Amino acid sequence: MKPTLVLVGRPNVGKSTLFNRLTKTRDALVADLPGLTRDRHYGNGKVGNKSYLVVDTGGFEPVVKDGIMHEMARQTLQAVDEADVILFIVDARQGLTPQDKQIADQLRKTGRKVWLAVNKAEGMARSVVTAEFYELGLGDPMAISAAHGDGLRELIDVVLGDFPEASAEEDPDHPKIAIIGRPNVGKSTLVNRILGEERVIAFDAPGTTRDSIYIDFEREGKPYTIIDTAGVRKKGKVTEAIEKFSVIKTLQAVEDANVAVLVLDARQEISDQDASLAGFILECGRALVIAVNKWDNLPEDQRTRIKYELERKLSFLAFAKLHFISALQGNGVGGLFASIDKAYSSAMAKLATPKLIRALQLAVEKQQPPRAGMFRPKLRYAHQGGSNPPVVVVHGTSLEHIPDSYWRYLEHTFVKMFQLEGTPLSVQYKRND
Ligand code: GDP
Ligand code: GDP
C-alpha cells in the first residue's frame, strides 16, 4: 500500500501549489478536464523510486468567515487521523500567524508526528526563514519553495524515509472491486445488496478504523473481491455519513482495485467531490463502471433530464458504462456486474503482438500521421507494455512530432480492435531513431 501524505495549513500558504508539484499529472487525459484540474485534491506522486498518494485538505476547508478559520474541517481532521504522513505548511513571507498556532495545537492533539514545511522560502536564508517556526514545537522546520521546487526532494526523502518502496503484489485473477462515492450516495446499501445480509454479518470483525475491509464472495459461480470503504460492518450503529466516508480509504481502494464502481446519487447534482473522485480514478488509469443510484420512483421526464445532464457532464469518462440502479430495491445490479466483468477482462486483456501490429498498419493505411515540417513520422510496430490499464507501446521514428489527436486516434483504433470496454487504454511511444 502506498503511503498517504496529507497537506494541512491555512489558506494561501501554497498547499495547492505544493500538491501540483508532488503529483504527476498522468496524461493529457487528466490535464484536459475542464474544471477538474483546478480542483484536484487527490493525486498520485513519485519522487525517485518512492510512490505515494497526496491529499490536499484545502479542498475541505470550511467557509472562511472574516478571514478567520474557526475550526479545522472535520474531514481534514479525519484525513490527518488516517494519513501516514502529516505535512503542515506555513508561509515564510507572512511569518508565524495566530491561525498557524491554532492549527498546530489541533495537530498536536492528535498525538501524531507532524512535519513542518516553511514554504515560499526561495531566495531566503534557511536559518532566518525557519527560526520563528520553532515556537510551534513541531520539531525542525524544513524550508521549501513549492513554486520553484526548492527543497522538495529532500522533503520527500525525509518524510517518507521510514516507508519501504512499494512492492508489486500479485493481483488475484478475478475482479477486485472498489465501491466508492461521496457520503450518502448509497454505497453501503449497494454493498449490502450485493453481499446479502447474512454474508455481511459474518464480517462484523473488529478492524482498524483506517483499513478497508476486503470481502471475497461468489456471484453466479464466479469469484469477486469487494473492497468495502463505507464500512458495512458498522451497520446497526448510528454513524453519521460524514464519519463513515473516508477520503484516504477511498483513494487506497481505487489504487488497489482493478475495477472501480463510482456511485452517484441520481437525486443530487454532480458535485466537486464526485468530479474529484472521477479525476482520481482516471489518473490511476482504473477500469470504471458508473452506478447512478436511487433511480427508483423517479418520474420519466426527470429521468430523461438526469440522463442528459450526466452524459454531458461525464463526457470525459466516455469509456465507462453508465448504469441506472436502485440499490435499495435491487434493480440494475445484475447489469452492473455484466459491466464489471467486461471492464475487468478489458483492463487485464492480453493484446497479442501480431494483432496489435495489424491494427497499427490498418490505422496508418487509413490515415497517415501528419508531416511536421521536414519530419515524416514513421510508425513501425507495437507491443503491449502493461495491464490495468492496458498500455500499448508504439515504436518508430520522429514520433515526438505526432500530435495528440493522432495518438487518440490510435488509442481508439486499439480499443475497437480488441473490443475493450470500461477501461482507458494508454498509448506510449518509443523512438527508434
Ligand atoms: P493554498 O490556498 O494553501 O492552496 O495556496 P496556493 O497554492 O493557492 O498558493 C497561494 C499563493 O501563494 C499563490 O499566489 C501562489 O502562487 C503562491 N505561492 C505558492 N507557493 C509559493 C512559493 O513557493 N513561493 C512564492 N513566492 N509564492 C508561492
Ligand atoms: P453511503 O454513505 O454511500 O454508504 O450511503 P448509504 O448506503 O448509507 O445510503 C444513504 C441513504 O440513501 C440511506 O438513507 C439509504 O436508505 C438511501 N438509499 C440508498 N440507496 C438507495 C436507493 O437505491 N434508492 C433510494 N430511494 N434511497 C437509497
pLDDT digits (tens, 9 = 90+) for 226-260: 988 865 544 444 444 345 678 888 999 999 999 99
List, for residues 187-202, the tens digit of each pLDDT value: 989 998 998 854 544 4
CB environment 174-196: b (16+ within 10 A), e (fewer): bbbbbbbbbbbbbbbbbbbbbbe
> Does the model's ipTM exceed the 0.90 cut?
no
Question: Which residue in 72, 74, 75, 84 sits closest to 9, CA to CA?
Answer: 72
189 in a known ligand binding site: no
pLDDT at 429 over 80: yes
Question: Which residue in 322, 250, 221 sits closest to 82, CA to CA?
Answer: 250
What local confidence, expressed as pLDDT, does residue 374 receive? 86
What local confidence, expressed as pLDDT, does residue 133 receive? 97
Q: Is the dihedral of CA 126, 132, 133, 134 positive or negative?
A: positive
Name the grid cell of 214: 476486503
Q: What is the dihedral angle through the alpha carbons of 17, 18, 22, 28, rounded to the nearest 10 degrees?
A: -10
Q: Is the peptide bond before 389 cis (omega within 30 degrees of 0)?
A: yes
- State which of 60-69, 77-86, 88-97, 274-283 shows the largest mean pLDDT: 88-97
Question: What does the alpha-carbon distance between residue 228 and residue 20 come to, in Å, rounded to a whole number?
Answer: 29
Task: Specify the ligand 1 atom closest to the Cα of 150.
Answer: 23
What local confidence, expressed as pLDDT, does residue 394 receive? 95
CA of 417 to the centre of ligand 1 (A): 46
Q: Collapsing DSSP states into helix, strand and coil, what is residue 128?
A: helix
Which amino acid is present at 264?
L
Q: What is the mean pLDDT of the chain?
A: 85
**pLDDT interval class at 268 (50, 70, 90):** very high
* For the CA of 182, the nearest ligand: 2
List, for residues 170-224, the tens digit of each pLDDT value: 667 899 999 999 888 999 899 989 988 545 444 434 444 556 788 888 888 899 9
Residue nearest to atom 9 of ligand 2 (CA): 186
Give me the mean pLDDT over the 53-57 stretch: 91
CA of 274 to the centre of ligand 1 (A): 26
Backbone angles phi, psi at 184, to 5 degrees: 75, 5
Choose between 316 and 155: higher pLDDT. Answer: 155
**pLDDT interval class at 328 (50, 70, 90):** very high
Residue nearest to atom 10 of ligand 1 (CA): 12
CA of 300 to the centre of ligand 2 (A): 21
**pLDDT interval class at 1 (50, 70, 90):** confident
Question: Which residues lie with the beta carbon below 6 Å from any ligand 1 atom?
Answer: 9, 11-17, 58, 119-120, 122, 145-148
Residue nearest to atom 25 of ligand 2 (CA): 294
pLDDT at 62 over 80: no
Give pTM, 2 decimals.
0.82
244 in a known ligand binding site: no
Residue nearest to atom 18 of ligand 1 (CA): 14
DSSP 273-333: HHHHHHHHHHHHT-EEEEEEE--TT--HHHHHHHHHHHHHHTGGGTTSEEEE-BTTTTBTH
What local confidence, expressed as pLDDT, does residue 214 receive? 85
Long-range contacts of 380-385 (CB under 8 A, 24+ apart): 380/432, 381/353, 381/357, 382/353, 382/356, 382/357, 383/353, 383/356, 384/350, 384/351, 384/353, 384/356, 385/428
* Distance (Å) of CA 338 to CA 12, 120, 282, 289, 412: 46, 51, 21, 10, 22
pLDDT at 403 over 80: yes
Question: Which residue in 171, 90, 101 sits closest to 388, CA to CA?
Answer: 171
CA of 332 to the centre of ligand 2 (A): 15
List, for residues 115-149, the tens digit of each pLDDT value: 999 999 999 999 999 999 999 999 999 999 999 99
* For the CA of 121, the nearest ligand: 1
pLDDT at 30 over 50: no
181 in a known ligand binding site: yes
pLDDT at 335 over 90: yes
DSSP 176-236: EEEEE-STTSSHHHHHHHHH-HHHHHTT-----SSSPEEEEEEETTEEEEEEESS-GGGTT
Helix axes of 247-256 and 74-82: crossing angle, nearest 10 degrees: 50
pLDDT at 33 over 60: no
**pLDDT interval class at 163 (50, 70, 90):** confident
Question: Which residue in 260, 265, 153, 249 sits closest to 208, CA to CA?
Answer: 249
What local confidence, expressed as pLDDT, does residue 433 receive? 74
What local confidence, expressed as pLDDT, does residue 66 receive? 45
CA of 302 to the centre of ligand 2 (A): 19
**pLDDT interval class at 71 (50, 70, 90):** low
What local confidence, expressed as pLDDT, does residue 355 receive? 96
56 in a known ligand binding site: yes
Pocket test for ligand 1, best of 7, 17, 90 (most atoms within 8 A of CB): 17
Task: Specify the ligand 2 atom closest to the Cα of 182.
Answer: 3
What local confidence, expressed as pLDDT, does residue 297 receive? 92
- According to DSSP, the residues that pair with 4 across neighbouring strands are 53
Task: Specify the ligand 1 atom closest to the Cα of 119.
Answer: 23
Backbone angles phi, psi at 95, to 5 degrees: 75, -175
Contact status, residue 41 vs residue 55, Cβ threshold 8 Å: yes
Give the distance from CA 201 to its chain's centroid: 30
CA of 133 to the centre of ligand 1 (A): 18
Match 467486461 to its residue by C-alpha cell. Answer: 342
**pLDDT interval class at 168 (50, 70, 90):** low
416 in a known ligand binding site: no
182 in a known ligand binding site: yes
Residue nearest to atom 10 of ligand 2 (CA): 184
Q: Is the CB of 188 under 6 A from ligand 2?
A: yes
Give the distance from CA 27 to its chain's centroid: 14
For the chain, percent of residues with pLDDT exceeding 90: 58
Q: Is the CB of 294 under 6 A from ligand 2?
A: yes
Choose between 270 and 36: higher pLDDT. Answer: 270
Report the relative pairing of strands 287-293 and 321-324 from DSSP bridges: parallel
Question: Which residue in 424, 167, 207 sits closest to 319, CA to CA?
Answer: 424
Give me the mean pLDDT over the 335-341 stretch: 97
What local confidence, expressed as pLDDT, does residue 231 receive? 59
CA of 144 to the centre of ligand 1 (A): 12
Choose between 431 and 62: higher pLDDT. Answer: 431
Task: Specify the ligand 2 atom closest to the Cα of 181.
Answer: 3
Eight-class DSSP state of 148: T
Q: Is the CB of 326 under 6 A from ligand 2?
A: yes
Match 429521468 to its residue by C-alpha cell. Answer: 303
